[in-house]
């Protein structure tokens, strides 16, 4: 959240920057030469961006009438930056948009509906649930580029050394495995995250969510949700269970411990596959185990569906929108998605991109196998923002600074201010 004069100055600066490098909103649509698009790519600048830059060069070689100005925007800044730029009518022509941003930007009129356009000419090739995630109020505002979900990733060698032959199917089994791994290998068995996104599977395992969008009700404190969070909390204390890390670098600490073999299992997404392979514990890629997350008391497992779409800015002129649609179709084609999967170990969004070469990557094959447990997010513009209050409260709960009930009450109150008309 930004506050005060400094925040206003920053917002103004972002708007001016975006106008200078962004789309062509409001133009006549006429051009005497190649159309130059601006694309904001939100992929990891080190591990993923090179593959996207190479695809842009191939696109330009095949489309002499279109040039692409590639801009890599840090993911954690992109949502606010695009919001500011679009409001000033100076956003990029194409955005690599996280799936959770779609409802909010579509509601504001910032994204162009893509139904019936060139960009969605091969719509039937995409996984139906991923197309559904790109929709808002009956219209489609993005073409799925990559998808992801969360899984239990584990070190097969440590599990084998502890005499464990398969991944745990319940959270109680995970606790037992963690204790056994600690006793027999000295490594921690499991290290959990205090981030709300990574706690979401514990809700799904109890048939719960933070909100019931249909009933317009905040459900983060419902008995089922509380049970899920209680299970999440119980995994920070016990033999082989690493205590909660509530520092600003917690994500990196957990990841580093896993790739170096100091912890046997964590919850993680496929965006870290390439980094995992660089770790000392996974020089042999076959050592990486990927399993559906343990189930809750309902007997079912669940994890949030993530990923990114390519969306077109509604404020660009006709010529730029037409070129943008061509670009989006190219970047989301089966061939392009195969290239991205091979280079970045990301999950394609269309079945014809899962070629034999792609499925030879154990990381991709493993995550493809857990996609069945992925749960789509409600088409609620504010849904993703509801994790923000939890990102404040969950670390306090995990570190013992406040009780579970107090923390969830605080989160519930903060959520009520984010969604109009929702009861508690």
Query: Please, which residues bridge with residue 267 across strands?
Result: 152
End-to-end CA distance of the chain: 24
Query: Please, which residues bridge with residue 146 across strands?
Result: 308
Query: Residue 398's Cα: distance from chain center in Å?
Result: 23
Question: Residue 33 has what pLDDT?
Answer: 78
Query: Residue 132's Cα: distance from chain center in Å?
Result: 16
Q: For the domain bounded by 151-304+380-416, which CATH number is listed?
A: 3.40.190.10
Q: Using one digit for the tens of pLDDT, what is the confidence trace for 9-48?
A: 333 333 333 333 445 443 334 446 799 999 999 999 988 9
- How many angstroms separate the CA atoms of 318 and 78, rounded? 24
The structural domains of the chain, with segments of one domain joined by +, span 13-148+306-375, 151-304+380-416
Determine which helix (DSSP H) or strand (DSSP E) holds 148, and give its type and residue range: strand 143-148
Question: Residue 19 has what pLDDT?
Answer: 36
Q: What is the pTM of this model?
A: 0.83
Question: Residue 14 has what pLDDT?
Answer: 35
* Domain 13-148+306-375, CATH homologous superfamily name and number: Periplasmic binding protein-like II (3.40.190.10)
DSSP at 170: B
Q: Using one digit for the tens of pLDDT, what is the confidence trace for 359-416?
A: 999 999 999 999 989 988 888 889 989 999 999 999 999 999 999 999 999 999 999 9
Question: Residue 51 has what pLDDT?
Answer: 96
- How many angstroms separate the CA atoms of 409 and 154, rounded? 34
- Burial of 174 by CB count in 10 Å (0-12 exposed, 13-18 middle, 19+ buried)? buried
Among all chains, which residue has been given the structure tokens 């925007």?
Answer: 73
Q: Do domains 13-148+306-375 and 151-304+380-416 have the same CATH topology?
A: yes
pLDDT less than 50: residues of the chain = 1-22, 24-31
- How many angstroms separate the CA atoms of 143 and 127, rounded? 11
Question: Residue 2 has what pLDDT?
Answer: 28
Question: Residue 32 has what pLDDT?
Answer: 65
């Amino acid at each position: 959240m930004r506050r005060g004069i400094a925040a206003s100055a920053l917002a103004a600066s972002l708007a001016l920057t975006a106008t200078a490098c962004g789309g062509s909103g409001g133009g006549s649509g006429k051009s005497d030469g190649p159309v130059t698009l601006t694309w904001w790519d939100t992929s990891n600048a080190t591990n993923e961006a090179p593959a996207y830059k190479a695809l842009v060069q191939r696109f330009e070689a095949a489309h002499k009438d279109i040039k692409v100005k590639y801009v890599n925007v840090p993911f954690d800044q992109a949502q606010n930056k695009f919001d500011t730029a679009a409001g000033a009518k100076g956003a990029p022509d194409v955005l690599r948009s996280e799936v959770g941003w779609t409802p909010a930007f579509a509601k504001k009129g910032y994204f162009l509906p893509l139904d019936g356009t060139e960009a969605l000419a091969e719509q039937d090739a995409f996984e139906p649930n991923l197309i559904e995630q790109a929709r808002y109020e009956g219209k489609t505002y993005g073409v799925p580029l990559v998808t992801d979900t969360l899984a239990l990733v584990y070190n097969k060698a440590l599990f084998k050394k502890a005499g464990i032959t398969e991944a745990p199917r319940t959270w109680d089994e995970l606790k037992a495995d963690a204790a056994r791994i600690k006793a027999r290998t000295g490594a921690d068995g499991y290290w959990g995250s205090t981030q709300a996104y990574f706690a979401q599977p514990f809700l799904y395992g109890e048939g719960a969510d933070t909100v019931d969008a249909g009933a317009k009700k905040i459900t983060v404190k419902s008995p089922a949700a509380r049970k899920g969070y209680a299970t999440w909390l119980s995994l920070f204390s016990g033999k082989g269970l690493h205590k909660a890390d509530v520092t600003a670098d917690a994500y990196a600490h957990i990841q580093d411990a896993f790739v170096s073999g100091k912890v046997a299992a964590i919850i993680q997404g496929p965006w870290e596959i390439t980094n995992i392979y660089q770790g000392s514990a996974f020089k042999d890629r076959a050592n990486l185990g990927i399993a559906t997350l343990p189930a809750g008391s309902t007997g079912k497992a669940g994890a949030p569906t993530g990923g990114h779409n390519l969306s077109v800015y509604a404020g660009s002129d006709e010529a730029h929108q037409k070129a943008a649609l061509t670009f989006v179709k190219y970047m989301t084609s089966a061939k392009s998605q195969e290239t991205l999967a091979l280079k970045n170990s990301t999950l394609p969004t269309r079945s014809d991109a899962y070629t034999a070469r792609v499925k030879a990557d154990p990381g991709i094959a493993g995550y493809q196998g857990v996609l069945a447990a992925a749960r789509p997010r409600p088409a609620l513009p504010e849904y993703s923002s509801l994790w923000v209050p939890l990102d404040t409260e969950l670390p306090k709960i995990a570190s013992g600074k406040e009780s579970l009930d107090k923390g969830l009450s605080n989160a519930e109150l903060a959520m009520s201010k984010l969604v109009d008309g929702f009861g508690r």
